[in-house]
Amino acid sequence: MTSLNRDPSRSSIGTAASYLSNVSNFKIIESTLREGEQFANAFFTTEKKIEIAKELDAFGVEYLELTSPAASTQSYNDCKAIVGLGLKAKILTHVRCHMDDARLAVETGVDGLDVVIGTSSFLREFSHGKDMQYIIDTATEVIQYIKGEGLEVRFSSEDSFRSDIVDLLNLYRAVDKLGVNRVGIADTVGCASPDQVAELVRTLRGVVSCDIECHFHNDTGCAIANAYAALQNGATHVDTSVLGIGERNGIPPLGGFIARMYAADKEYVKGKYDLTRLRNIENIVADSVGVAVPFNNYITGYCAFTHKAGIHAKAILNNPSTYEILRPEDFGMTRYVAIGHRLTGWNAVKNRVDQLGLPLTDSDCKRVTNKIKNLADIRPLSLDDVDKLLRKYGDAKETDEHHAILESIDTPDQITQW
């Protein structure tokens, strides 16, 4: 396969094929309405939760995870309200491994329960104070009850990566025998690295026959990489939230996770999700929690498809795949080539000339580019400034005064005042 017909979104440096990999066969458990509620600024009204739920459903996520109905009266009512929407996504709620929580959750009509209990020595000593046998016994009671109600059930340890591996695998083996739909591993404090994730998931895949869900916190910046490593090694479900909001530094952002998976298998991701809805979902959530979408946000940040350096701009204009692993069009976005700066190149200026329909030669474009560079050493020029300069130069060329026009301009402010 030549460099011209190879999929530009895929790396040419391959990885060993793995029969465990689910990179092209995964499901998203979207947790903005559960984990996201734990973000410091978050307060979602019922109306806002419904709006977010509908948007995520239209995007195509397979599951929506909601705050436990045991958290508050309004949380209980919100579960019932979202269940009543009749969305395509399955509705889950996240509960403690406790019969009271499980019964309350079942009352709301959700499709399934995500059951969790801490298993690390830290949480067993300083949180619930129970030993592993108690955890197994309680999990058995809760899981059997949920299954008896005909609902989907996931059982997860909390703080999995600081838990004793023998205890952890014995617990997962026990709940797998009870017939859970998924077991979950959680990097609750964000301490895991991709190689640690790969090892644990691969080991777990050899112990259980059910699906494997993964929940990664981003305290040390590995959440997306960890999610990808998990899928490569046999995990089937990944938890995300819009913009990654959640407890502390949050979890894998939906957009960032989608970007990673698009690069791995573009057609699979495009076939499952309406990628053009991502920007609107992020704007809704950002506005709801009082933050701005970051300038360098995956896919939708205003710099995501902006090209500046001259050699980059020339290549992008010839073939966008030279410097873009993601196609902005697939996400309803557009690329922008910045030209009003000292790093600009004449090819980028020529492209703008062509867009404006000006009859300038390559030599003209090179002269104007040099003037832009000189002026941009004082301050960057806006696109409007560049357009004024190009048009003024083009008009002056008709009377052979174009050279004089360039020589007469000493500062960017002169152009702004035209």
Cβ–Cβ < 8 Å for 246, 35: yes
Both tokens assigned to 272: 């499952």
- What is the separation of C-alpha 369 from the centre of its chain, rounded to a whole number of angstroms? 38
Catalytic residue among 217, 237, 307, 312: 312
Q: Please state, in angstroms and rounded to a whole number, the distance separating the CA atoms of residues 415 and 418.
A: 5
Q: Please state, in angstroms and rounded to a whole number, the distance separating the CA atoms of residues 139 and 156.
A: 10
The residues facing 96 across adjacent strands are 116
Query: In the chain, what is the greatest distance between 2 CA atoms, to the nearest angstrom?
Result: 92
Is 402 labeled as catalytic in the residue annotation?
no
Q: Please state, in angstroms and rounded to a whole number, the distance separating the CA atoms of residues 253 and 36.
A: 10
Q: Please state, in angstroms and rounded to a whole number, the distance separating the CA atoms of residues 121 and 293.
A: 38
Both tokens assigned to 404: 């004089």
Residue ranges of alpha helices (H) inside 87-211 are: 99-107, 121-126, 132-148, 165-177, 194-205
Q: Please state, in angstroms and rounded to a whole number, the distance separating the CA atoms of residues 302 and 294.
A: 8
**Total number of residues shown for the chain:** 418
Q: Please state, in angstroms and rounded to a whole number, the distance separating the CA atoms of residues 225 and 252.
A: 9
Q: Please state, in angstroms and rounded to a whole number, the distance separating the CA atoms of residues 369 and 342.
A: 9
- The torsion angle over the Cα atoms of residues 21, 22, 24 and 30, rounded to 10 degrees, is -150
Catalytic residue annotation:
312
